[in-house]
């Protein structure tokens, strides 16, 4: 497996690069509609529950957050780009308040007035369960695949710490030939999902789809598979 990951193992993007992408509008990763794999699998994530607290790591301005809030769920997101956070509320015609976060120097939290949505503008790794407790749902689309490959163990430890006992974590990953594209989004093989989360969680592959479009062909890719996994703490 090491050799499979080798082409991207040392790839690293600074937080400032992500902020620049937002400032310059280079956000091809943003989707203007609710992600189809979230829609398809939402019943498995909810498992009959109402009023679930959802966590969105590296949330950007994902419209999925409003979709879940409109259903009566609450959403907490973390995003480094202030522009992305403001655009989320503005583009959804939502008013918000802004507060500092005493536990995270320099961080701000944007709280929606109409919906139960709180977006923290800070480094993801400065966030913890001491800020907002644990969550019953996590939607990870474009987060694990965006973080630097060398940070995955640290990331998995953070996500696991944010999972309540009944948490249902929906993880979206991408498979392609990493020799052909340096990322991001990065290649995350199923074996690594199991090595990151398998010791404390059960992992079920819910869906696997061919996701190759002309955009990814332009990156030089010859195939792109999108996998969605349901990850749940063991013992449920």
Q: What is the pLDDT of residue 42?
A: 98
Q: What is the pLDDT of residue 1?
A: 46
Q: How far is CA 159 from the centre of its chain?
A: 10
Q: In whole angstroms, what is the distance from residue 136 CA to residue 54 CA?
A: 6
Q: What is the DSSP string of 76-118?
A: EEEES-HHHHHHHHHHTT--EEEEE-TTSTT-EEEEESSSSEE
46-82 pLDDT, tens digit each = 999 999 999 999 999 999 999 999 999 999 999 999 9
Instruction: Enumerate residue ranges in the chain where pLDDT < 70.
Output: 1-5, 27, 236
Q: What is the pLDDT of residue 164?
A: 98
Q: How far is CA 53 from the centre of its chain?
A: 15
Q: Considering the entire predicted model, what is its pTM?
A: 0.94
**Main-chain phi, psi angles of 120, to 5 degrees:** -95, 125
Which is nearest to 15 in space by CA: 139, 121, 169? 121
Pairing of the two strands 225-233 and 201-210? antiparallel
Q: What is the pLDDT of residue 32?
A: 82
Q: In whole angstroms, what is the distance from residue 233 CA to residue 159 CA?
A: 11
Q: What is the pLDDT of residue 16?
A: 84
Question: Contact at 8 Å (CB) between 143 and 186?
Answer: no
Top-level class of domain 2-233: alpha beta
Question: Contact at 8 Å (CB) between 67 and 188?
Answer: no
């Amino acid at each position: 497996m090491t050799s499979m990951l080798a082409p991207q193992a040392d790839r690293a993007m600074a937080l400032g690069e992500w902020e620049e992408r937002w400032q310059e509008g280079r956000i091809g990763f943003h989707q203007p509609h609710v992600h189809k794999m979230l829609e398809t699998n939402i019943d498995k994530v909810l498992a009959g529950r109402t009023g679930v607290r959802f966590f969105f790591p590296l949330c950007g301005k994902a419209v999925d957050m409003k979709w879940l809030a409109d259903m009566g769920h609450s959403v907490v997101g973390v995003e480094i780009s202030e522009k992305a956070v403001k655009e989320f509320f503005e583009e959804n015609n939502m008013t918000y308040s802004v507060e500092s976060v005493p536990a995270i120097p320099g961080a701000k939290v944007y709280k929606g007035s109409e919906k139960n949505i709180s977006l923290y503008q800070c480094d993801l790794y400065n966030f913890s369960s001491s800020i907002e407790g644990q969550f019953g749902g996590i939607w990870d689309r474009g987060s694990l695949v965006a973080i630097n490959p060398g940070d995955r163990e640290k990331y998995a430890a953070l996500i696991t710490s944010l999972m309540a006992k009944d948490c249902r974590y929906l993880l979206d990953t991408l498979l392609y030939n990493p020799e052909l594209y340096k990322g991001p989004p990065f290649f995350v093989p199923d074996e690594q999902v199991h090595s990151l989360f398998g010791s404390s969680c059960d992992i079920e592959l819910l869906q696997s789809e061919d996701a190759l479009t002309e955009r990814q062909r332009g990156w030089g890719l010859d195939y792109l598979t999108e996998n969605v996994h349901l990850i749940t703490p063991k013992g449920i």
